[in-house]
Structure 1
Amino acid sequence: MGQLCGRCMQLLRDFIGFVQRMSSDLVQGIKECLTLISKCSCLKQNSSKTRQLYKPILQPHERVTAEEFLQHIETDFEMSPLGKDPLEALRTLSFSENPGLQQSAALYYLHMSQHMNIPLPVEHLEPFYALLRSADLEVQQMSSLSLVNFLLEGNIDKELVVQMGLLEPILDLLESEDPTVQCNSCACVMTLAVSESNREAIGAARGVTPLLSLANSYDPRVQQNAVGAILNLTQSDKIQEVLCKEGALPVLALLLESPDSEVQYYSCAALSNVAANVQHHKALLRPSDRFLLQTLISLLSSPVDKDTLACAELLQSLGTLLAAHKTDPVIVGHTACIIKNLSLSKNHQRITESCCVEGLLQTMLLTDTQEDSLRYVTSCLAELAKQEGAMLHMVQWMDEPLTKCLVRLAGQLEHPEPSFHAASVIQHMIGHEKMMLLWKHHIGEIQAYLKNFLTHQEVRFQQLGISTFCRLRADPEFSLAFGKSQMAKLLEQVRQQTEETQELLRAAMCHEDS
């Protein structure tokens, strides 16, 4: 048997369509289809007679409607795109079994969705059911896109779309193998899910599972819209439970590491909505090795813009967390790291106005035996102290116990990072009258850590020591104390070492050039 020609392939497609429709004349249709194929020229020589037997599926009334519709498009579209006659024609073409006619209807709707700025009448939603159910890929693409456009422009009532029965075909299109159809159908669900009643309908129709599947799509457009739809669904407590049962939390946690900032934002916001419900906290923290916590911290240190994240409510929550768990080194460390990462996104003013600064200072008094926690806390304070406003706010909270704590930490060189950060905070606070009075109670301890800094192997310690020395020396009492302790002699040694190093470098560079 030879290879089937195009006409016979079309007949086979029609046969498949007959089977799918399960019409009453199924058996007769199969017989006629097989008879036509058997008489085709690709199998026998009597080709001319067989060609005359083949007719495209186009009913007489459909032909007339198509001709009238074409004439309407050419002459009257701008005047009456939503008239009664076009609607009847759209119904006829949309429910036709001929893909070409369905494409015409879908194209008409797409054109309307791109140019119309008035609400789409309810009766125009009916043809969408047939178009979304079409077996033709182009019809699916155009009709789903036009529906997205209508929804985004507010030309269709979102709850009415569900009431008209269009949710089911939209959800079916989520399982399409075509990325464009997937993208459009996800966008439809995302837009529809802004309504509470629609969210419940989507959950009841088992729309969560295909969305979670598409959230892992390799197509960035599909993934963005799928995760955006999930975000809108998380605004419902009922759907949150469904999402958790369907395994959404690990999926969303992994998407926090996506290179796409849109996906990062949608998944983070979705997790935030779920985290607002106490009953889901255990499920959120279930993944091993504190995966979610570590990923959130990593996300905060990424270049993604976080002004939007540092809202007053979040900062208030972080401050409350520090106050309630100030003896827990893990919570204190992670909270301090989050605050620091937020401060890197130019949120200093919001942080200063919150209770976070006070919380960080107070936890410093209680975490002296936990190096990791101290490292995060002092690092955050050192970052904030670089900003004049935040530093002035810190000065307001400083008292003798906090001053003593900072000086002691600066002198603990066995913990180099907390030592350096504490000394950095001290250096930024020099010059304020209140702090100078407090520092004078610890002149000896300050001199001791400055000597260690000046002889430290790391240049950053030496530079911080010199900078602090120069600022403190402007005060008569510190200047007198430095003179008696021969700090000037130590500085001279550092200067000589620096000059020797510079000479060696110049010699090395000259040798390389020659």
Structure 2
Amino acid sequence: MGQLCGRCMQLLRDFIGFVQRMSSDLVQGIKECLTLISKCSCLKQNSSKNRQLYKPILQPHERVTAQEFLQHIETDFEMSPLGKDPLEALRTLSFSENPGLQQSAALYYLHMSQHMNIPLPVEHLEPFYALLSSADLEVQQMSSLSLVNFLLEGNIDKELVIQMGLLEPILDLLESEDPTVQCNSCACIMTLAVSEKIQQVLCKEGALPVLALLLESPDSEVQYYSCAALSNLAANVQHHKALLRPSDRFLLRTLISLLSSSVDKVSSQACVCLRNLATSADIQAEMVAENALPKLCSLLASGSEDVRRASIALLWILSQHPPNQDTLACAELLQSLGTLLAAHKTDSVIVGHTACIIKNLSLSKNRQRITESCCVEGLLRTMLLTDTQEDSLRYVTSCLAELAKQEGAMLHMVQWMDEPLTKHLVRLAGQLEYPEPSFHAASIIQHMIGHEKMMILWKHHIGEIQAYIKNFLTHQEVRFQQLGISTFCRLRADLDFSLAFRESQMAKLLEQVRQQTEETQELLRVAMCHEDS
């Protein structure tokens, strides 16, 4: 078989660069390029004896098809890119042994993938097999990129890709020596690996070990897309056994090493993949043992929002496993968490996860370390700026309420309390729309009663405190009623609060609660007796 001459090859290279820039005169460029190639002597049958031994590059029907295809591009592309005539031409060009004609088909698909906003008919998928299986590198690059574009835009049914047998050439391209082809094929698998049925096919066809090896690619784009594909597969717990073979923790170690990547999206995606894998206590313990913690602490200080959020989410998962808590409650991480809260008070993802981590660590024997860290102040200051509607406020107030139960931590909290914080706590306790922050705020107040500094601050808000206590006493939930009674009893020891309670006839409300409680108890006794009989 003959080959294109150097002149024609250079024309194609120039044209590929042109397509990548996607200028407005794409159609004219295709016409001129293929016209010049078709007229060159290197593509014409030579009558000499030496040439008689080789099969012609262009078959007669291919030459006619190419000319008709050019006419379609020039006159009808915008009107009917998916018509019957261009489809037949695409089939002919795609299955041609001439790489130049294959490139023209690949270019056509690439242009469609970047401009089309309707589903690609199933019959237009057929030529993809030939294009993805082409020996020509530029055809591989363009066809794999166009398939990625179609998948990302939702113009191709993912299951049809599998049914049409396109997974085989996609997996073959993973082992290409060209980073662009590897990147595109990884991106294809990333978009495909979101349906459980397709995930099973990918695992069965051996995609996992190849994707894992690509994590070590020197190309950061290949690292990112292979990691993203693995993250999607790791989101399904049933694949964890295949991903994390007990005898070989290659994937786990490689992902942890990628946490130190200088490319933000790579380190962020590695966090996501590790988070998806960290579903068992054993795997979490291995991550900590593999020295992931120092790397995650560094990522908390990243200038990238995605990196910060991904790393704090992984740390939250690790903090849920009690054996990890001693290691996590180190001075380095606590300092990083406090600094993170101070720098990103309004980031609800950061605030919520950080509060959950601190609460998890406070349940261990390391409470003193947390009390002495900057985390307590960070949580209090964050509470001031967090909107009541944010879920993160529930996590912050829950963490502070848990800390307030411990005498040492509570005393430390009192040191940081001032008028703005006091006013905010009382306001939170009094709002009724979001019950959890209300309950937690009231619990913090209840635990701080009795300290001279706090009693002076609380007296500026006697009316508001009385109001939320009344709401608690009539609340449907018993825990609110109990907290209201407990707060009332503790505050009544103060003369100013005691006088205010008498003037507001709080005693009558308490009597009503008592009567209701007795009635409820009597009904329960009757019900229990009836059950026993």
TM-score by length of 2: 0.42
CA contact (8 A) 1:300 1:338 kept: no
Tell me if the contact between 2:215 and 2:226 (Cα under 8 Å) persists in the aligned partners.
yes
Residue 117 of structure 1 deviates from its aligned partner by 73
Give the drift of 1:408. 0.1
Larger Rg: 1 or 2? 1
- The separation in 2 between residues aligned to 1:463 and 1:335, in whole angstroms, is 30
Residues 434 and 492 (structure 1 numbering): CA distance in 2 closer, same or farther, change over 3 Å? same
Q: Structure 1 residues 153, 410: closer, same or farther in 2, change over 3 A?
A: closer
1:366-404 superposed Cα distances (whole Å, 9 cap, x missing partner): 113443121011001000000000000000000000000
Q: How far did 1:329 drift? A: 1.7
Name the CA distance, whole Å, in 2 between partners of 1:107 and 1:32. Answer: 14
Distance 2:23 2:495 in 1: 103
1:346 to partner: Cα distance: 2.9
Q: Summarize the Cα distance change of 1:359–1:487 in structure 2 as closer, same or farther, 3 Å threshold.
A: same
Q: CA deviation at 1:330?
A: 1.7
Q: 1:71 to 1:195 in 2, by over 3 A?
A: same
Distance 1:450 1:187, change over 3 A: closer
- Residue pair 2:12, 2:100 contacting (<8 A) in 1 also: no
Deviations 1:337-363 (A, max 9, x none): 111111122321011110000000001
Distance 1:142 1:118, change over 3 A: same
For residue 411 of structure 1, report the CA deviation from its aligned partner. 0.3
Give distance in 2, aligned partners of 1:472 and 1:18: 78
Stretches of structure 2 lacking an aligned partner (at least 5 in a row): 265-324
Whole-Å separation in 2 of the counterparts to 1:28 and 1:6: 22
Q: Name the CA distance, whole Å, in 2 between partners of 1:71 and 1:420.
A: 74
What SS does structure 2 have at the residue aligned with 1:457? Answer: coil
Identity across the alignment (%): 95
Equivalent pair of 1:250/1:287 in contact (CA under 8 Å): no
In the TM superposition, residue 154 of structure 1 has moved relative to its aligned partner by: 57
Aligned-pair CA distance for 1:327: 1.6
Instruction: Work out whether residues 43 and 57 of structure 2, in 8 Å CA contact, stay in contact via their aligned partners in 1.
Output: no
For the residues of structure 1 that align with 2:127 and 2:39, how far apart are their CA atoms?
38
How far has the Cα of 1:313 moved from its partner? 0.5
Contact in 1 for aligned 2:186/2:226 (Cα 8 Å): no
| Alpha-carbon offset, residue 54 of structure 1 | 58
Change (3 A) 1:261 1:404: farther
Contact 2:44-2:58 at 8 Å conserved across structures: no
Q: Write the deviation string for residues 166-191 of structure 1: whole angstroms up to 9, x where unpaired.
A: 99999999999999999999999999
| In 2, Cα distance between equivalents of 1:490 and 1:258 | 71
**329-338 or 458-467: bigger deviation:** 329-338
Tell whether the 8 Å contact from 1:365 to 1:405 is kept in structure 2 after alignment: yes
| 4+ residue segments displaced more than 6 Å | 1-196, 238-305
CA shift, 1:328, in A, is: 1.4
* Mapped partners of 1:258, 1:386: distance in 2: 51
**Rounded Cα–Cα distance in structure 2 between residues aligned with 1:35 and 1:71:** 11
Q: Measured at CA, do residues 507 and 151 of structure 1 come closer, stay the same or move farther in structure 2, by a change above 3 Å?
A: closer
State whether residues 194 and 233 of structure 2, in contact with CA within 8 Å, keep that contact through their aligned partners in structure 1. no
Q: 295-304 or 314-323: which moved more?
A: 295-304
Q: Per the alignment, do residues 81 and 489 of structure 1 end up closer, same or farther by CA in structure 2, a change over 3 Å counting?
A: closer
Q: In 2 relative to 1, CA 64–159 (structure 1 residues): closer, same or farther, beyond 3 Å?
A: same
Structure 1 match to 2:328:
309
Task: Say whether the 8 Å CA contact 2:426–2:464 is kept in structure 1.
Answer: yes
With 243-252 and 337-346 compared, the bigger mean Cα shift is at 243-252
Q: Is the aligned partner of 1:114 residue 2:73?
A: no
- Aligned-residue CA RMSD (Å): 20.5
Q: Is 1:89 the counterpart of 2:89 in the alignment?
A: yes
Q: Is the 8 A contact 2:331 2:369 kept in 1?
A: yes
Aligned mates of 1:269, 1:436 — CA distance in 2: 54
Q: Quick check: 1:39–1:47 contact (8 Å CA) kept in 2?
A: no
Deviation string, structure 1 residues 18-54 (Cα, Å, up to 9, x no partner) = 9999999999999999999999999999999999999
Segment of structure 1 superposing worse, 134-143 or 255-264? 134-143
Distance change >3 Å, CA 374–CA 483, structure 1 → 2: same
Shift of 1:112: 70
The structure-2 alpha-carbon separation of the partners of 1:469 and 1:7, relative to structure 1 and needing over 3 Å to count, comes to same
Contact 2:419/2:457, CA 8 A, preserved across alignment? yes
Conserved in 1, the CA contact under 8 Å of 2:326 and 2:364? yes
- Counterpart in 2 of 1:243? 202
Q: Distance in 1 between matches of 2:430 and 2:29?
A: 93
> Helix, strand or coil: the match of 2:41?
coil
Contact kept, 8 Å, 1:41 with 1:47, in 2: the verdict is no
Check 1:482–1:394 CA distance in 2 against 1; reply closer, same or farther (3 A cut).
same
For residues 466 and 25 of structure 2, the distance between their equivalents in structure 1, rounded to whole angstroms, comes to: 101
> What is the distance in 1 between the residues matched to 2:512 and 2:27?
104
**8 Å contact 2:400–2:444 — kept in the other structure?**
yes
Once residues 434 and 75 of structure 2 are traced to their aligned partners in structure 1, the CA distance between those partners, rounded to angstroms, is 83
CA contact (8 A) 1:131 1:139 kept: yes
Q: Deviations over 1:217-249 (max 9, x none)?
A: xxxxxxxxxxxxxxxxxxxxx999999999999
Q: TM-score, normalised by structure 1?
A: 0.43
8 Å contact 1:371–1:418 — kept in the other structure? no
Greater mean deviation of Cα atoms: 176-185 or 72-81: 72-81
Greater alpha carbon shift after TM alignment, 119-128 vs 239-248 = 119-128
Contact 1:40 1:51 (C-alpha < 8 Å) held by counterparts: no
CA distance in 2, matches of 1:278, 1:369: 35
Query: Could you tell me whether the CA contact under 8 Å between 1:367 and 1:373 is conserved in 2?
Result: yes
Is the 1:36–1:54 Cα contact (8 Å) retained in structure 2?
no
Structure 2: distance between partners of 1:70 and 1:33: 10
107-116 or 279-288, larger mean C-alpha shift: 107-116
| Alpha carbons of structure 1 residues 182 and 125: separation in structure 2 relative to 1, 3 Å | same
Deviations 1:436-468 (A, max 9, x none): 000000000000000000000000000000000
Q: What is the CA–CA distance in structure 2 between the aligned matches of 1:440 and 1:27, rounded to whole Å? A: 79
| In structure 2, C-alpha distance between the alignment counterparts of 1:452 and 1:119, rounded to whole Å | 57
| Conserved? CA contact 2:346–2:386, under 8 Å | yes
1:486 is displaced (CA, Å) by: 0.6
How far off is 1:315 after superposition?
0.5
**Contact 2:449-2:490 within 8 A present in 1 as well:** yes
Q: Distance in 1 between matches of 2:26 and 2:423?
A: 92
Superposed displacement of residue 147, structure 1: 50
Aligned to 1:480: 499
CA contact (8 A) 1:450 1:469 kept: yes
| Cα gap change, 1:276 to 1:423, in 2 (>3 Å) | same
CA distance in 2, matches of 1:448, 1:26: 72
State the 1:483 CA deviation.
0.3
Distance 1:152 1:12 in 2: 27
Alpha carbons of 1:242 and 1:44: their partners in 2 closer, same or farther (altered >3 Å)? closer
Give the 3 Å change call, closer, same or farther, for CA 497–107 of structure 1 in structure 2.
same
Aligned residues: 473
